[in-house]
Amino acid sequence: MKFTDTLKKNYEFQRLYSKGKSAVTPHLVVYVRKTKKKQNRIGITVSTKLGKAVIRNRVRRRIREIYRLNEEAFIQGAEIVIVARVKAVRASYRQLEQSFMSACEKLGILRDGQSR
């Protein structure tokens, strides 16, 4: 991910939950807060409710790859937190991608003409 850094600290996640805008889909919840920095920052949260470590890591890898492949479609200067929901475990890759891109379109973080 060449234009992106990761969110790691708990207070960064909490700030987005309280001050960011959110969009909900059956598979994901996406929180966004715009910043004045040149790059995006992304954090992915997968609860233990989804299953054991193998399943959680699979969901996390899929979400990270969806973001990486669509990275050029996003505006620069946003903090994004993606929270996987229980339905994300059984969803196909395409369903996850459509959910993520539709949530990002609702939040207005896609560049003009990049919506799917």
Domain residue spans in the chain?
A: 4-107
Could you tell me the CA-to-CA distances from 58 to 20, 50, 53, 78, 79 in Å, in that order?
A: 26, 11, 8, 25, 23
pLDDT at 112: 77
pLDDT at 44: 97
Pick the CATH number of 4-107 from 3.30.110.30, 3.30.365.10, 3.40.50.720, 3.30.230.10: 3.30.230.10
Q: What pTM value is reported for the model?
A: 0.92
Residue 29, strand partner residues: 24, 83
Residue with more model confidence, 87 or 115:
87
